[in-house]
Amino acid sequence: MNNKNALHALLVWAGLGFSALAMAHGDVTPQAVNTEGLEQLGKEWRDENPYRAPYANNKQAIEIGTSAYTQNCARCHGLEAISGGIAPDLRMLDPGIEGDEWFKERVINGAVRDGAVYMPKMADYISQEGLWAIRTYLESLHVEE
């Protein structure tokens, strides 16, 4: 193989490698959340997590929230909500209504600093039911600072 063909082969191989890396990052578009089996909440946002125990389907809400979190939140907040420092460690959110207030405000309004979007308005993409299921999952992981 001459040098020209070797260089061409190397460039093709490198291009394939970089495209595979880019594709490995995955789809960053928020993914739909199937909330079948959970109480449907309507358009008006609740002030407090309706799926928190003693909610009858609390375990199902945690399961749905686990999947929804993994698909939509883990890429920034870390697997099992253990942050690598890019975004807040969501295991440390206050339990109860205090944490619900912060969570609700953030998922509805997102986070923008100096014109840069640090977190999209997740409520534009995921239903209230899906987001409260995520909150239920996060509370199941809660740790004190």
pLDDT at position 22 over 70: no
- Give residue-wise pLDDT tens across range 63-116: 999 999 999 999 999 999 999 888 999 999 999 999 999 999 999 999 999 999
- Return the biggest CA–CA distance within the chain: 72
Q: Is the pLDDT of residue 23 over 50?
A: no
Indicate the DSSP class of residue 112. E
| pTM for the full predicted model | 0.80
pLDDT at residue 144, as a whole number: 86
The pLDDT value recorded for residue 29 is: 78
pLDDT at 40 over 90: yes
Phi, psi for residue 68 in degrees, rounded to 5: -65, -40
